[in-house]
A and B are shown apart, each in its own frame.
Chain A
Amino acid sequence: MMTLDTPSSSSSSSSSLLISRKDAHIVMGYLHYERMKLAIKLARYALDHNETPVACIFIHEPTNSVIAYGLNATNHSLTGVAHAEFMGIEQIKNLVGPHHLMDFFKDVVLYVTVEPCIMCASALKQLNIKKVVFGCANERFGGNGTVLHINKDKALLNAPSLPKAESASYEAIPGILRKEAIMLLRYFYVRENKSAVTPRNKAERNLDKETFPDLIWSTYIDRETFIQEFGSAQSIHYENNSDLMSFNDDIDWSLIETPWDDIVEDLNEKCQSFNMIQRKKSKLETV
């Protein structure tokens, strides 16, 4: 299994891997895209099954393993709260047990195609998640900067279950496969949602493949965090409110126009193999 340090780790550990800081950023960027591709495929799967194309995968960072996934299920479940993140949380709950979630989540990074809504952003914070990486902004409900900054608020500052210095706040990194995530939402919104209370207006039914809103990086992360994440070579995009270029010069149309029928099976396999490692490990520990 491939193990990689994050770019923010200490210099001693990255030198032991014999990769320079610049390379580390490229590797990290590559990892972000590879992981987000899984989430995008799953979102496409959701679209093909008449759900909002929002999907996520959860990564256990120390082992670089997929441990859970989720897609939106608000239509099927008849609740407005069955968001992708909650499905993944439920899987992790089954994996590690309901009372060890917070200890486990400190090593977990979420990749989600659309910025978590305020509700999900709060849930992830209460679980003490390590980091969130997302594709496009959630214009109406975004809880990682667009509407509110739930991930940076101080509501959990005094909770004794959390280490004081960290106080559960987490970084939320935007912009990975952003245009692909937006296009999937556009595919969805040109259809009509018959169960919604208010019908959509006509203008929203035209599919736009050309124009995209700016990515205002500073709404989500400060410059320092951006450079830590992507390296200073990319910092021009922070100033210009533009998309990163190294990994997606243009929209990856094949990624969003292919129905990924096997993606759920594929993710299930990945999650199960992590599950086995966990069990072996816990057996060893008890010996």
Chain B
Amino acid sequence: MVKKVNNPLKIDFQKCIIEGRLQQILPKHITSEPELINIWTIDINPQDSKYFIAFIRRNIKETDPISLLHLKRIQKNPNDKSLLKLILCSVEYIADREDIIKLLESIEKKTPNGNVEKIQYTNLNKDLKVPKEPPITRELINEWSKKFWPMVWNGNPNDQILNDYIIDMDSIRGKLDIISKQSQSLAKSNEIPVVSLFVNPLDPLNHILSIDQRNSTSGCQLDHSIMNGIKKVAEDEVKRRKLEQEAKESNNYREKTYLCLNFDVYTTHEPCSMCSMALIHSRIKRLIFIKPMEVTGSLRPESGHGYCMHANKNLNSKYEVFQWIGDEYPVGSVENYTCC
């Protein structure tokens, strides 16, 4: 992880554009409407807060599956100014009241006269709802802090995501050049000019190129370039494993390819709902497309029904998506109702 100022890539953090060419594609709604979760809170005496903070640092911070770092852990109890209200952990981490009570019983403190005694607290409950994730603007953090619970501003969390992307611009340009040329040549011969290219991180030099085959003699309505590419990856892997088994003495073993795990995929047109979901099933790492599809596209929030399939929080996995917004790589055109 490099510091923002040392990143050799030029990143527009406002517009989420890398090197003036790669537009990060993100759902819009996650930024303005918080997803709320319940947390356990208790009321404590101000002089005991240091014991609780130490306890949380030791036993909860690292293990709670929900990061609560965007929330202020302690604030004045609005109903009783002599007490503090403290966030213990997420309800997802510990669901049962008995378990929480047992945990709190393990906190001890030394009294001035040297005795060890149990610590006191009141009002244990899980009624408080707070945003699961921090918002991306300072304005929103102020709004949410008033509405739910005081929050800490650590900058737009997406800035860190943008900064952490590993991007090889030359390699990306090379791949886009390949699919762009292929697409144009298909367009000239009146074929559907949708092209995809799959890059296996275990074998990056042997990329797999696939085209739309729905109009070919044996192809059907569903033979989109991405579906064909996914099938080709599997066929190649079956062949490779067979060869590897036959030539046991050879020394070019490599790790097995699992689905399309961590693949980079390049495609000329924004994929439809079938293909964008197929890429979720295939566990790819990143997709870069060139041409948005207003009606059938399933990645941009502005396309189709705004599914943003690659970043849907209801699905168990995600992939990175960028749109190439330069005009260096022209592609053949398709009708706007075509599912790609």
Hey, which bits of chain A sit against chain B, CB under 8 A? 77-81, 89, 93, 98-99, 101-102, 117-123, 126-127, 140-141, 143, 147-148, 150, 153-160, 195, 197
Contacts and interface: CB of A to CB of B under 8 A. Distances in A.
B304 A153 contact: yes
A98 B283 contact: no
B76 to A, nearest CB: 38
Nearest to B259: A80
B277 A158 contact: no
A155 B272 contact: yes
B109 to A, nearest CB: 34
A258 to B, nearest CB: 31
B47 interface: no
Given A126-B222, A156-B337, A119 B295 contact: no
Given A78-B259, A81-B278, A126-B274, A93 B220 contact: yes
A143 B277 contact: yes
Contacts of A98: 217-220
A271 B231 CA distance: 26
A140 B316 CA distance: 7
B305 A119 contact: no
B36 interface: no
A79 B337 contact: no
B220 A101 contact: yes
Contact of B258 (A127, A160, A195): A195
6 contacts: A80-B230, A80-B281, A101-B220, A118-B280, A127-B222, A155-B298
Contact of B237 (A78, A80, A127, A147): A78
B18 interface: no
Contacts of A102: 221
B281 A119 contact: yes
A93 B216 CA distance: 14
Interface in B45-94: none
A103 to B, nearest CB: 11
B122 interface: no
Contacts of B261: 197
Interface residues of B, number: 43
Nearest to A105: B221
Given A122-B272, A153-B305, A197 B221 contact: no
A156 B339 contact: yes
Given A140-B315, A141-B315, A155-B304, A118 B309 contact: yes
B222 A117 contact: no
Contacts of B30: none
B296 interface: yes
B233 A79 contact: yes
Interface string B168-190: 00000000000000000000000
Interface of B: 217-222, 227, 230-231, 233-234, 237-238, 257-261, 272-275, 277-278, 280-283, 295-296, 298, 304-305, 307, 309, 312, 314-316, 336-339
Nearest to A92: B220
Contacts of B222: 89, 123, 126-127
A126 B312 CA distance: 22
Contacts of A195: 258
A101 B277 contact: no
A119 B312 CA distance: 14
Contacts of A153: 273, 304-305
A143 B257 CA distance: 28
Given A147-B312, A155-B305, A158-B337, A79 B230 contact: yes
A147 B280 CA distance: 14
Nearest to B339: A126
Given A123-B274, A141-B281, 8 more contacts: A79-B234, A79-B282, A118-B277, A119-B273, A141-B277, A147-B314, A155-B272, A155-B295
A147 B315 contact: yes
B135 to A, nearest CB: 24
Given A99-B220, A117-B277, A119-B274, A159 B337 contact: yes
Contacts of A127: 221-222
Contacts of B260: 80
A122 B220 contact: no
A197 B315 contact: no
Contacts of B277: 117-119, 122, 141, 143
B273 A81 contact: no
A160 B338 CA distance: 10
B240 to A, nearest CB: 10
A123 B282 CA distance: 16
Contact of A157 (B231, B312, B314, B337): B337
Given A119-B274, A122-B274, A140-B316, A81 B227 contact: yes
Contact of B234 (A77, A150, A197): A77
Contacts of B315: 140-141, 147
